[in-house]
Amino acid sequence: MNDALQIQSITGVDVELKIAGPGGRSFAFVVDWHIRLLLALAWYVLGALALIGTLSAEAIPDAGSAFVYVVVLPATALFFLYHPVLEIVMQGRTPGKRMAGIRIVNQAGEVPSVGAILIRNILRLVDSLPGVYAIGLGATVLTEQSVRIGDMAAGTLLVYEDEVHSEDIRHLVSPTVAKMGLENLQLVNDVIDRWEGLDPASRVDLGQRLLARLGHDQPDADADVLAALMRIQQQGTD
């Protein structure tokens, strides 16, 4: 099974994008499903209350066509057009995909065309069979690039996107790099980033060994070790 999509470039510097598997895809879908359901329901409830003042079905015929055009149609459109519209507007992403850190790309790693996005959404009809996306899920488990039938037809796939912004590398513009090297500074950053998730005893031990490697004093207290690491990280940016 391929776990990366290789993007070839005329510069000769190629990039590999990690392909999202059934887990990442399902997570994004579940988030999006809830968002579109809640949006559609909210529109229906608010629209019905504003237009006929009640949620009772008996009052709907009195409202006539207005109820259809103002309440039913927009709510239905919100639910069914959520994916195609947002995937086009957000260039291969949706709020759920953003949360899962994934996006749709074509086989060249580029933003898919409008036609490709529409095709992959029409084929949801097949992927969703027999009602719980069994075919789609089965296809993502069995296919080489973890794609469902709609993606096969459209030539698309989902890849992970690394969310690293310029703020994340600001501290690299510092004398710290010259003093301790890029890789050591990266180690410090990684330990600080993961500090909260580490077991307290292990993180103090890890922090002390890192401080020793960099030639710094090694305090005993958990908070002091973290503070020492953060001082190293921020040396040049203060």
d(CA 99, CA 105): 17
* Identity of the residue, 99 or 118, whose beta carbon is nearer to another protein in the bound complex: 118
User: What minimum distance in Å lies between the beta carbon of 74 and another protein?
Assistant: 11
* Identity of the residue, 204 or 206, whose beta carbon is nearer to another protein in the bound complex: 206
* Identity of the residue, 23 or 181, whose beta carbon is nearer to another protein in the bound complex: 181
Q: Which two tokens stand for residue 47?
A: 């629209």
User: What minimum distance in Å lies between the beta carbon of 197 and another protein?
Assistant: 17
Whether 138 contacts 169, CB under 8 Å: no
Angle at 83 between CA 77 and CA 84, to 5 degrees: 85
User: What minimum distance in Å lies between the beta carbon of 130 and another protein?
Assistant: 12
* Identity of the residue, 1 or 169, whose beta carbon is nearer to another protein in the bound complex: 169
Closest CA to 189 of 127, 232, 225, 128: 232
**Diameter of the chain measured on Cα atoms:** 81
d(CA 120, CA 130): 18
* Identity of the residue, 30 or 73, whose beta carbon is nearer to another protein in the bound complex: 73
User: What minimum distance in Å lies between the beta carbon of 188 and another protein?
Assistant: 11
d(CA 29, CA 52): 34
User: What minimum distance in Å lies between the beta carbon of 166 and another protein?
Assistant: 5
* Identity of the residue, 28 or 185, whose beta carbon is nearer to another protein in the bound complex: 185
User: What minimum distance in Å lies between the beta carbon of 36 and another protein?
Assistant: 17
Q: Which two tokens stand for residue 207?
A: 């922090």
Whether 199 contacts 192, CB under 8 Å: no
Residue ranges in contact with another protein by CB under 8 A = 7, 9, 11-13, 15, 17, 61, 64-65, 67-69, 72-73, 76, 91, 105, 108-111, 113-115, 118-119, 122-123, 125-126, 149, 152-155, 161-166, 168-169, 172-183, 186, 189
Whether 100 contacts 24, CB under 8 Å: yes
- Own/partner pairs, 7-14, CB within 8 angstroms, 24+ separation: 7/108, 7/109
User: What minimum distance in Å lies between the beta carbon of 70 and another protein?
Assistant: 10
Whether 116 contacts 154, CB under 8 Å: yes
* Identity of the residue, 162 or 196, whose beta carbon is nearer to another protein in the bound complex: 162
Tabulate helix, strand, coil % of the chain (nearest 5).
Answer: 65, 10, 30
